[in-house]
Amino acid sequence: MSNTIKQLALAWAAALALGTGADAASLKIATLAPEGSSWMREMRAAGDAVKTATEGRVELKFFPGGVMGNGETVLRKIKLGQLNGGAFAASELTPVNPDVAVYGLPFQFSDLNQVRSARAKLDPQIK
């Protein structure tokens, strides 16, 4: 599992577990990624890591393959509280924040270290 996905999932789950005071929480996350794809394998591995790290207090429930709708629909469902999150392509988030389009530019980075360096500088500006 990629460290970035694992770190994001663990941080998100820890924030939720510390902030709610509830015994257990289930986060509903939608994505267009097809079941069985490498993306879903990574997300499910992150979900397992979250469940283990929180001793079962936080569980990630995934809705793959667009069963909750396209990116726009998923964003609406998040705003309404029907979903807790989504895994999006940069192009799906540009209507909300056009600056996100920078992550979809092709051939800008030659390796993962360059991506991490750019994200360290750009993420705070885009948030």
CA dihedral sign of residues 114, 116, 119, 121: negative
Structural domain boundaries in the chain: 1-88, 89-127
* Ordered per-residue pLDDT tens for the chain, 127 residues: 555 555 555 555 555 555 555 567 999 999 999 999 999 999 999 999 999 999 999 999 999 999 999 999 999 999 999 999 999 888 888 888 888 888 778 888 889 899 899 889 988 888 7
3-state secondary structure of 87: strand
Angle at 62 between CA 19 and CA 85, to 5 degrees: 45
pLDDT at 6 (0 to 100): 53
